[in-house]
């Protein structure tokens, strides 16, 4: 039989005894062997541990089988696991072994999943290309000379290349959506608070969200059903009831109102991207949706608003890395202050240092009103602008990225250019809205993503529209070619 490539197909094959979980794990490990010399998507692979769990899963009886029974899943190395290390792709955490697991890992394991390994990312999730990892960039499976996108580049490349059936990423300002667009996977940033952040290393606490990355929309809906819900360990997790998202995959989208903001198709967006996404929107109209031209005039302010707030929060969150806790470092100093200065100076990478400096500056006496507080007020205005738009439409659609995956090395010397890569993903993050990247075509053999944004806690509408679109096309069936040895 041909090997399944989606969670649902693998579950079906497991149920009908056409394959075992052990075989799924072996196949995934084989793909990791073949792809990793080209991709660098994984920081650690749990060969033995995954095989042992698969054996256990294969011995369990069919009764009470859980939704992710026996499915190998990869985890962004920003999320704490008790197996292996958790490094955030930083040298400062190179020896950190977590004493407990994130709630999302416990939920995956309770659902029967097998954690196959930890994936590469931009250091502390700060970046849009995965080039700021202390352990080397992730290469795009469609073209090894190009970036995977970031910061969840390893998770996304792993799913695109079939090294895992699904992966967890985190999205602060586009870190699930942007690499998903670059690599051709389905990536969701849920509503702020939809998924517990407990045990997830904090970047910017009022933005961070864990997000599922999959090959298909329905797999993604299944993952969200497992992951979502209130958690007593995360006070910002929402008590809003979790819906059966998979039930919305297959419902028609007749008369659904879809807003196309003119600012998402502006001069800073590559015309070929705008065309591709407009064609995808037209397809939604063919399926019964009603397209409505809208405007979000404050979109130009989203990047400054986002970065000022995020870097301020990061400077505070990263104060805990003092070189004493979270794994010993090789530092010999005579006093505590010098220990801090040396640990943070030597073991943080350039973008992390830039973030701490910018955030500390924006929060310092004399500047806090002009920068941090002003950004927080503009955040309120941007939220209101989206609220008004959603009085007119059910969903908002636009591109995920202003361009396709860019060449490795082309933006690393210019931090502002790297920030501008978030142009189309920051607005939904600033407003805490759920948003998805769904594959919608190729330009020069590189994937393009369509972004679908919904009001707070209306992820089911995203799945409804994304599934209808996906099933009317075959983009998801196209996979990058396995490189020859």
Partner 1 sequence: MPDIKITPQGVQKVAALARLGLTEQEASQSADDLAGILGHFSVIQQIDTADTPTSDDVTGLQNVARTDVAQPNDLCTPDELLAAAPAVHKGQVKSKAVFS
Catalytic site residues?
76, 151, 175
In the bound state with partner 1, the residue whose beta carbon lies nearer, of 417 and 477, is 417
Per CB under 8 A, the list member of 60, 66, 205, 360 interacting with partner 1 is 360
296 binding partner 1? (CB under 8 A): no
In the bound state with partner 1, the residue whose beta carbon lies nearer, of 29 and 462, is 462
Stretch that binds partner 1, among 214-222, 371-379, 435-443, 445-453 (CB under 8 A): 371-379
- 24: which 2 tokens? 């799924």
CB of 338 to partner 1, least distance (A): 8
CB of 58 to partner 1, least distance (A): 28
In the numeric block, the tokens 């100076």 are attached to 345
Name the phi and psi angles at 144, rounded to 5: -65, -15
CA atoms within 13 A on the CB side of 76: 33
Name the phi and psi angles at 171, rounded to 5: -130, 115
- 8: which 2 tokens? 């649902």
* Residues in a beta bridge with 319: none
One DSSP character per residue, 315-357 reads HHHGGG--SSSSS------SSHHHHHHHHHHHHS-HHHHHHHH
Residues 209-248 that bind partner 1 (CB under 8 A): 232-233, 235-236, 238
Between strands 435-443 and 290-294, the pairing is: unpaired
Per CB under 8 A, the list member of 17, 63, 293, 325 interacting with partner 1 is 325
CB of 404 to partner 1, least distance (A): 24
CB of 137 to partner 1, least distance (A): 20
* Residues in a beta bridge with 452: 397, 436
CB of 307 to partner 1, least distance (A): 7
Stretch that binds partner 1, among 85-93, 191-199, 247-255, 468-476 (CB under 8 A): 191-199
- 41: which 2 tokens? 């998507």
Distance between CA 339 and CA 336 in Å, rounded? 5
Q: Which residues contact 352 (CB under 8 A, 6 or more apart)?
A: 90, 123, 124, 126, 132, 318
In the bound state with partner 1, the residue whose beta carbon lies nearer, of 239 and 271, is 239
CB of 153 to partner 1, least distance (A): 23
86 binding partner 1? (CB under 8 A): no
In the bound state with partner 1, the residue whose beta carbon lies nearer, of 184 and 211, is 211
Per CB under 8 A, the list member of 5, 47, 205, 374 interacting with partner 1 is 374
205 binding partner 1? (CB under 8 A): no
CB of 11 to partner 1, least distance (A): 30
Q: Is 440 in contact with 309 (CB distance < 8 Å)?
A: no
99 binding partner 1? (CB under 8 A): yes
Residues 100-129 that bind partner 1 (CB under 8 A): 100
One DSSP character per residue, 64-101 reads T--TTTT-EEEEETTB--SSS---TT-GGGTT---SS-
CB of 383 to partner 1, least distance (A): 6
Per CB under 8 A, the list member of 144, 278, 340, 473 interacting with partner 1 is 340
191 binding partner 1? (CB under 8 A): yes
Distance between CA 482 and CA 485 in Å, rounded? 9
320 binding partner 1? (CB under 8 A): no
Per CB under 8 A, the list member of 16, 61, 335, 391 interacting with partner 1 is 335
Residues 5-44 that bind partner 1 (CB under 8 A): none
CB of 31 to partner 1, least distance (A): 34
In the bound state with partner 1, the residue whose beta carbon lies nearer, of 164 and 423, is 423
Phi-psi region of 98 (alpha: psi -120 to 50; beta: other; left: phi over 0): beta
Distance between CA 120 and CA 43 in Å, rounded? 5
Per-residue contact flags (x/-) with partner 1 for residues 430 to 469, judged by CB under 8 A: -xx-----------------------xx------------
297 binding partner 1? (CB under 8 A): no
Per CB under 8 A, the list member of 2, 59, 241, 416 interacting with partner 1 is 416
In the bound state with partner 1, the residue whose beta carbon lies nearer, of 230 and 443, is 230
Tell me which H or E stretch contains 451.
strand 446-453
In the bound state with partner 1, the residue whose beta carbon lies nearer, of 15 and 387, is 387
Distance between CA 371 and CA 477 in Å, rounded? 46
266 binding partner 1? (CB under 8 A): no
Q: Which residues contact 56 (CB under 8 A, 6 or more apart)?
A: none
In the bound state with partner 1, the residue whose beta carbon lies nearer, of 244 and 377, is 377
Q: Which residues contact 480 (CB under 8 A, 6 or more apart)?
A: 141, 142, 160, 161, 184
| Helix axis angle, 103-110 to 217-227, nearest 10° | 110
| Helix axis angle, 271-286 to 459-471, nearest 10° | 90
Distance between CA 292 and CA 200 in Å, rounded? 38
Q: Which residues bind partner 1 (CB under 8 A)?
A: 97, 99-100, 191-193, 206, 232-233, 235-236, 238, 298, 300-301, 303-305, 307-308, 315, 319, 322, 324-325, 328, 335-337, 339-342, 344-346, 348, 353-354, 356-358, 360-361, 364, 370-371, 373-381, 383, 415-416, 419, 431-432, 456-457
């Amino acid at each position: 039989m041909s090997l399944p490539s989606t969670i649902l197909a693998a579950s079906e094959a497991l149920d009908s005894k056409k394959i075992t979980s052990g075989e799924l794990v072996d196949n995934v490990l084989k793909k990791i062997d073949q792809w990793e010399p080209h991709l660098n998507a994984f920081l650690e692979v749990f060969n033995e541990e995954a095989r042992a769990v698969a054996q256990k899963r294969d011995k369990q009886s069919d009764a009470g089988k859980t939704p992710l029974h026996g499915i190998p899943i990869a985890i962004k190395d920003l999320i704490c696991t008790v197996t292996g290390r958790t490094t955030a792709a930083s040298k400062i955490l190179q020896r950190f072994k977590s004493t407990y697991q994130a709630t999302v890992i416990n939920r995956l394991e309770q659902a029967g999943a097998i954690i196959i390994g930890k994936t590469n990312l931009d250091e502390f999730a700060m970046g849009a290309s995965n080039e700021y990892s202390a352990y080397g960039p992730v290469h795009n499976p469609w073209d090894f000379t190009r970036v995977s996108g970031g910061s969840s580049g390893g998770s996304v490349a792993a799913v695109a290349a079939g090294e895992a059936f699904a992966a967890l990423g985190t999205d602060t300002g586009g870190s699930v959506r942007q690499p998903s667009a670059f690599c051709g996977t389905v990536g969701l940033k849920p509503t702020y608070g939809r998924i517990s952040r407990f045990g997830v290393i904090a970047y910017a606490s009022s933005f961070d969200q864990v997000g599922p990355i999959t090959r298909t929309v329905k797999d993604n809906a299944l993952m969200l059903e497992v992951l979502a819900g209130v958690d007593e360990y995360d006070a910002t997790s929402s008590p809003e009831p979790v819906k059966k998202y998979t039930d919305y995959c297959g419902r028609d989208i007749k008369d659904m109102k879809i807003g196309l903001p003119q600012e998402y198709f502006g001069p800073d967006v590559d015309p070929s991207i705008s065309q591709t996404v407009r064609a995808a929107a037209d397809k939604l109209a063919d399926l019964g949706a009603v397209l409505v031209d809208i405007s979000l005039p404050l979109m130009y302010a989203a990047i400054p608003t986002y970065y000022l707030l995020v870097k301020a929060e990061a400077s505070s969150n990263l104060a805990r890395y003092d070189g004493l806790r979270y794994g010993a470092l090789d530092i010999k100093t005579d006093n505590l202050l010098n220990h801090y200065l040396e640990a943070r100076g030597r073991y943080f990478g350039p973008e992390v240092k830039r973030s701490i400096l910018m955030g500390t500056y924006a929060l310092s006496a004399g500047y806090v009103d002009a920068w941090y507080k002003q950004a927080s007020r503009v955040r309120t205005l941007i939220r209101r602008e989206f609220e008004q738009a959603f009085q007119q439409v059910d969903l908002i659609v636009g591109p995920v990225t202003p361009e396709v995956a860019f060449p490795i090395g082309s933006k690393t010397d210019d931090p502002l250019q790297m920030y501008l890569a978030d142009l189309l993903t920051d607005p939904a993050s600033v407003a805490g809205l759920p948003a998805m990247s769904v594959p919608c075509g190729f330009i020069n053999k590189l994937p393009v993503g369509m972004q679908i944004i919904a009001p707070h806690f209306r992820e089911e509408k995203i799945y409804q529209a994304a599934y209808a679109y996906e099933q009317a096309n075959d983009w998801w069936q196209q996979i990058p070619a396995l490189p020859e040895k």
